[in-house]
Structure 1
Amino acid sequence: MDFQGSLFAAPEPEVRDLADLSGLERRPLTRGAWVDVHRAWVPEADEVFAALVAHVPWRAERRQMYDRVVDVPRLVHTYAVGEALPHPVLASARDALSAHYLPELGEPFVTAGCCYYRDGRDSVAWHGDTIGRGRTQDTMVAIVSFGDPRRLTLRPRGGGGDSIAIQLAHGDLVVMGGSCQRTWEHAVPKVAGAGPRISVQFRPLNVF
């Protein structure tokens, strides 16, 4: 696609130090879960988005659903431990998050999963990152959003409470922590008329 910064409603934020996370706002959830949000955290967001579109080796996946195999409605790629990320701002973001959350998390963020939502028809269904250590231990997943705004929705696993929605815009950061992956689920629902959006999810080792 031809990248145009004007596609996105939010203006480019001022260039600043990614280590400055003083703008984080925490929202406690139930069952020991919480979410942190920082608006317009990433500088040079247009440039990072363009690099992600152009340089990530995107792939389409298929999965079994009941009695048939269907296309996964988004493109994906994961950068494993030690692999170079497609833009230096992303490496700086990962390092800043690792330093900031080390007292709570006790370990760094080491992988970067990328999802490319090409338009409003692409989505991700309700789930938690409960493969690996996330199934039994509190952990964190930090998501940086680039491109058109999309809603991240969360609900208590198994019901018993209200769902919430966080509108993520160009350069925004959201961190799901505490018991969030075990006791809550999250999704990115389909929406009419959305443009392209890419999320980069930083995770600790063995959290999927």
Structure 2
Amino acid sequence: MPLQQSLLDGPGDPELAPLTGIRRAPLSATAWIDLLPGWLSGADEVFAHLSESVPWRAERRRMYDGVVAVPRLLSYYREGAPLPHPILTEARAALTAHYGVEFTTAGLCYYRDGRDSVAWHGDRIGRGATEDTHVAILSVGAPRSLHLRPRGGGETLRHPLGHGDLLVMGGDCQRTWDHAIPKTAKPVGPRISIQFRPSGVR
């Protein structure tokens, strides 16, 4: 289904709210998430720009005895690469200043509808396997539920993200918790997730 425009997104250029409004939710004594709904106003315009201008690619990965299509479109901006919209450059700089951690890369995922998803995982490739790291997720487009649960099983937490919402995972969240965007049979519009990470974290 097409993207349903946000009723809260008024006319004007995309703009970021101050990060002073962010709120922390502890997951454990050593893991946390920060949440700021509606951090980006004008998110629908950013979604439209990214959906049309980003060089999206479909990937295939080996799984068990076969090769399957990755159920989402992907794009990756390495350290030093220009980002596809000026507001993303501004967002990365704001996150770096707020957390005192240099965010250097951006991975983009395009969830076209409810059939697109990402399985349970943690960003544990590279430094994330042994060090506390930050991963910041900015969402544009229709809301989808990001699920979090302790690694090894436990209660699942659900956070709907879309239309300019920000979620930051920190502490040892990547090593001790997993997160996912599950498939859904409900009619949902498309969503783009922008993940900002420090150098050496995937």
Contact 1:145–1:170 (8 Å) recurs in 2: yes
Rounded to whole Å, the distance in 1 between the matches of 2:124 and 2:108 is: 18
Q: 2:159 aligns with which of 159, 166, 169?
A: 166
Contact 1:23–1:39 (8 Å) recurs in 2: no
Q: 1:149 aligns with which of 140, 143, 149?
A: 143
For structure 2, the residue ranges without an aligned partner over 5 or more in a row are none
Q: 1:81 aligns with which of 73, 79, 82?
A: 79
Q: 2:5 aligns with which of 5, 8, 11?
A: 8
1:179 aligns with 2:172: yes
1:127 aligns with 2:121: yes
Rounded to whole Å, the distance in 2 between the matches of 1:169 and 1:201 is: 13
Which has more strand, going by share of residues? 2
Amino acid of the residue matched to residue 34 of structure 2? D
Once the two structures are superposed, residues 46-97 of structure 1 have per-residue CA deviations (whole angstroms, 9 ceiling, x without a partner) of: 2211111011100000111110100000000110011111110110000000
Once the two structures are superposed, residues 6-29 of structure 1 have per-residue CA deviations (whole angstroms, 9 ceiling, x without a partner) of: x13452168786361121111001
Rounded to whole Å, the distance in 2 between the matches of 1:121 and 1:10 is: 25
Q: 1:115 aligns with which of 109, 117, 121?
A: 109
Tell me the equivalent position of 1:91.
89
Amino acid of the residue matched to residue 140 of structure 2? F
Rounded to whole Å, the distance in 2 between the matches of 1:167 and 1:9 is: 14
Contact 2:136–2:196 (8 Å) recurs in 1: yes
Alignment CA distance shift 1:162-1:35 (3 Å): same
Contact 1:31–1:179 (8 Å) recurs in 2: no
Contact 2:149–2:155 (8 Å) recurs in 1: yes
Aligned residues: 200
Rounded to whole Å, the distance in 1 between the matches of 2:112 and 2:15 is: 30
Q: 1:203 aligns with which of 178, 192, 197?
A: 197
Rounded to whole Å, the distance in 1 between the matches of 2:57 and 2:15 is: 32
Rounded to whole Å, the distance in 2 between the matches of 1:85 and 1:10 is: 27
Give the alignment's TM-score, normalised by structure 1: 0.91
Aligned-residue RMSD, C-alpha: 1.8
